Amino acid sequence: MVPLLELSKVTKHFGGLCAVNNFDLKLSKGELMGVIGPNGAGKTTIFNMISGVLNITTGNIYFKGQNITGQKPYMINRMGICRTFQLRTIFDDLTVLQNVMLGGYTKKGLGIGFLSSFLGTTKKKKELEQSALEKIEQVGLTNHKDEIAKNLPHGFQRAMALAIALVTEPEVLLLDEPVSGMTVKEIIWMMELINSLRADNQRGILLIEHNMRAVMDYCDKISVINFGAKIAEGLPIEIRQNEDVIAAYLGGKSHAA
């Protein structure tokens, strides 16, 4: 079976620095996969390459078997890959509902034919609003839908960022540290929510996270990178016992080697 998302020997150089080296990855439908590694290991760079923000030096990225290397970010999204960002990345001065609706203009044909969006296509807009409200409910923000986004507490803003991504109805969801800066209770709630997003087995989720418990408890498979190269991949239990991984995180002999 063709994997949903496949990275094949992806390499990224920033001048003389090799940020990501020969990285391979396969993500299937219904899978929740974690990407972990120390700070500066190249995790976000991988996301930036998949989502088209950064060009790839060498290697290829395939989405459902189709080569999507070098596509523009907005094209990547239209194909069905949506990402969230590491820091709070939202439309500050818009309301929650407007924020989430912005994610859906393309899907409803209001973004591509943006001419139609100001000539007024009321029916499509109603549909979009409906689907935005569903996603807002899904992330538990119904009571806050008319609030200005920047006034929301941090946890709610992260939940809203997820709703914005969901309204684009992605087949691949790339989540960049979705639980950073959250309380323990919020983390559990957020991870349960993320876990539920693959329930229909149609979506693959790739998750970058520093919170080990979140990753270990929920991911099916974990890929560990350090200095831009993959050092381990496997089930959470295998990763926990992998010596290279322990060395990378705690420092040890193999780290120096």
Partner 1 sequence: MLKNNIRKYSILIVILFITFTLPLGIKNPYIVHIFIMMYLNIVLAMGLTMIFKAGALSFGHAAYASIGAYTSVLLVTMLNIPFWIAFSLAGVVTALVALFIGGITLGVRGIYFTITTFAFTEVMKGIYNAYLYPFGGPGGIRGIPNPSGIETKEQFYYLALIFVLISFFIFYKMAHSKSSFGIICDGLKLNELLEQSLGINTKTVRIFVFIVGCTFAGFAGSIMAHYLRQINPETFAIHTSIDIIVFCAAGGFGSIIGAVIGATSLTMIGELLYGIGTYKSLVFGGMLILIVLFLPEGIVGFISRKRILK
What is the pattern of x (binds partner 1, CB under 8 A) and - over residues 12-51? ---------------------------------------x
Nearest approach in angstroms of CB 249 to partner 1 is: 30
- Based on the shown chain and the rule CB under 8 A, indicate whether residue 216 belongs to the binding site for partner 1: no
Q: How many CA atoms are closer than 13 Å to the CA of 203, on its beta-carbon side?
A: 23
- CA-based end-to-end distance of the chain: 38
Going by DSSP bridges, is the β-strand pair 221-226/229-234 parallel, antiparallel, or unpaired? antiparallel
Binder to partner 1 among 21, 45, 77, 226 (CB under 8 A)?
Answer: 77
126, 171, 205, 94 alpha-carbon torsion, rounded to 10°: -30
Tally the residues of the chain: 257
- Could you tell me if residue 65 is left (phi over 0), alpha (psi between -120 and 50 degrees) or otherwise beta? left
Binder to partner 1 among 118, 250, 256, 257 (CB under 8 A)?
Answer: 118
Q: Which stretch binds partner 1 (CB under 8 A): 29-37, 106-114, 187-195, 235-243?
A: 106-114
Closer to partner 1 by CB, 107 or 221: give it: 107
Give every CB contact of residue 185 below 8 A, 6+ residues apart in sequence: none
- Based on the shown chain and the rule CB under 8 A, indicate whether residue 156 belongs to the binding site for partner 1: no
Residues that bind partner 1 in the complex, under the rule CB under 8 A? 51, 53, 72-74, 76-78, 82-83, 85, 89-94, 98, 101-103, 105-107, 110-112, 114, 117-118, 120, 125, 164-165, 168
